[in-house]
Amino acid sequence: MRKISHFIDGKIYTNSKLETSPVFNPATGEQIAEVELADTETTKLAINSSVKAQVTWSKTTPIARSRILSKYKDLLIKNHENLAKAVSQEHGKTIPDAKGSVQRGIEVVEFAIGIPELLKGDHSANVGTNVDSFNMRQPIGVCAGITPFNFPAMVPMWMYPVAIACGNTFVLKPSEKDPTCPIMLAELAIEAGFPKGVLNVVNGNKVSVDALLEDQNVKAISFVGSSPVAEYIYHTGTKNNKRVQALGGAKNHMIVMPDADIAKTTDAIIGSAFGSAGERCMAISVAVCVGKETSEKLKENLLKETAKLKVGPYTDENSDYGPLNTKAHYEKVLNYISIGEKEGAKLIMDGRKIKLQGYENGYFLGPCIFDDVKPNMAIYKEEIFGPVLSIVNVEKYNEALKLVDDHELGNGAAIFTKSGNIAKHFTENAQAGMVGVNVPIPVPVAYHSFGGWKKSLYGDHAMHGPEGVRFYTKLKTATITWVEDNAGPEFTLPVLS
Ligand code: NAD
């Protein structure tokens, strides 16, 4: 059985005494590897390696760091295909989807290459007579990242390229469900020329997360995952005096106005609700139809077009989306479908009947659509994280907006309309961190910042872009005067008349 261990101090670190956890191919249900779970001591080895590396790395000039990042970007591009394959094999998503996610990560590296410019401070001359003031942003030290299963390459790359560019060192604790790709990312970092210890990877579960949360050498924690764990990470990390950004779950609404182009809206819903089996934090999981006619037209088109989707393994290039990631998660999603039926929502498309020859043990679920979902139902309130769309029907735009605003999760929200007035009102007022107008998955590009509101983000900073640089640096402001100049009479300043 292939074993996946850790990457500590510039090389693979393995310890046969550590507990292991199975890694599956979700398309077949077969175990394909086992991953070592770091204990506290192993996690400390990684932290100590990063502490040591921090001393020189923080003093390495931003332009030198940028040059290594540039080589890293080239290596990521060269290995794009291999990285995507590693993602698909353990996550289950299609190759084009996996490639797209790796590309998003590479774009954060491209952003981080601009670090000399990004770290430039403000300077004010003569804040007093002969007194100047300027600020600088300095590294915070060892940072840690804890990441979810759904984007094993992209989400880690939201974090460590920016952290490292800012002069910090980093310990990554990826998801134990698909741990191969993060190790590959660390190996490429060494090949690019990052000194050992600048990026360490420990695989593990709560034990290693708690070791990171408790260790006083770790100064900042970036987390992406479910909201209950995000809340735990935020409270424990801040209690231990760390800076914490903890991104949680999502229930992203798309409001469909009566003037929306139904064909384009249908395409957008299909891609965003069912793509990657709905295992995206920016997936649309609720469509809010404004008006009876909108609802009828949309449902008719949606049922017709969704029926054309092909669910299958990543090895079949005709697959539109793959299996859910684990058996436990598959069962959880199935359970939500039963709950929805019991709650009285109408299951107008039932993907549970899907059977794939040769993949009978895979965690495949066809698209499911619930109509007449009400805000008090569990399938509306809770994140399902599968290919399950809820349709809520309302009469007015204001009711639709209220649904977005009242939901406890506020990652993304979108509206489909041709009205400029409605679009502007929605953009300004919707209570969500990322909003889209006629864009179903409004994911900010690398040089903007990614993050939700409400229980979708605990902490003050979103990830990557300018917010990422702020999170991974401490602000220092210097106030300087040179009134006592002892350099000698030849350096005396001319008296200005
Ligand atoms: P998860 O919360 O179960 O796990 C995330 C990470 O936390 C993993 O590394 C895991 O090992 C660790 N972890 C799990 N339980 C823990 C505990 N009790 N204590 C300490 N650490 C723990 O999330 P997941 O199932 O891997 O990922 C799916 C979730 O991530 C969904 O809720 C999804 O919305 C969310 N997500 C959010 C964003 C975002 O940007 N907001 C992006 C991607 C995924």
Q: At what angle do helices 180-192 and 154-165 cross, to 10 degrees?
A: 30
Q: Which CATH class name applies to 2-248+456-479?
A: alpha beta
Q: How much distance in Å is there from the Cα of 226 to the middle of ligand 1?
A: 4
Q: Which atom of ligand 1 is nearest to the CA of 451?
A: 40
In CATH, the number for domain 252-437 is 3.40.309.10
Q: Are 252 and 278 in contact (CB under 8 A)?
A: no
What is the C-alpha to C-alpha distance for residues 316 and 320, in angstroms, rounded to an integer?
9
Q: Which atom of ligand 1 is nearest to the CA of 456?
A: 41
416-456: pLDDT as tens digits: 999 999 999 999 999 999 999 999 999 999 999 999 999 99
pTM, two decimal places: 0.96
Query: Buried b / exposed e across 392-413, counting CB within 10 Å, b at 16+?
Result: bbbeebeebbebbeebebbbbb
Q: How much distance in Å is there from the Cα of 200 to the middle of ligand 1?
A: 20
Nearest CA to 144 among 73, 245, 76?
245
- Give span(s): CATH 3.40.309.10, the chain: 252-437
Residue of the CA atom closest to atom 9 of ligand 1: 175
Examine the residue annotation and report whether 281 is marked as an active-site residue of this protein: yes
For residue 124, count other CB atoms closer than 10 A to its CB.
12
Q: Are 384 and 281 in contact (CB under 8 A)?
A: no
Active-site residue among 181, 281, 289, 368? 281
> What does the block give as tokens for 404?
């977005």
* Ligand 1 pocket mutation, candidates 154, 224, 244, criterion most atoms within 8 A of CB: 224
* Ligand 1 pocket mutation, candidates 175, 177, 280, 467, criterion most atoms within 8 A of CB: 175
Residue of the CA atom closest to atom 21 of ligand 1: 206
pLDDT the model gives residue 412 = 97
Which residues approach ligand 1 with their CB closer than 6 A? Answer: 146-151, 155, 173, 175-176, 205-206, 209, 224-226, 229, 232, 247-250, 281, 383, 385, 411, 452, 456
Q: Which atom of ligand 1 is nearest to the CA of 228?
A: 2
Q: How much distance in Å is there from the Cα of 229 to the middle of ligand 1?
A: 7
Q: How much distance in Å is there from the Cα of 60 to the middle of ligand 1?
A: 33
- Give span(s): CATH 3.40.605.10, the chain: 2-248+456-479
pLDDT the model gives residue 489 = 64
Residue of the CA atom closest to atom 23 of ligand 1: 225
For tokens 């109509």, name the residue: 371
pLDDT the model gives residue 313 = 96
Q: How much distance in Å is there from the Cα of 381 to the middle of ligand 1?
A: 18
Low-confidence ranges of the chain (pLDDT < 70): 483-497
Q: How much distance in Å is there from the Cα of 225 to the middle of ligand 1?
A: 3
| Residue 397 CA: distances (Å) to CA of 159, 296, 323, 375, 428 | 37, 17, 35, 16, 14
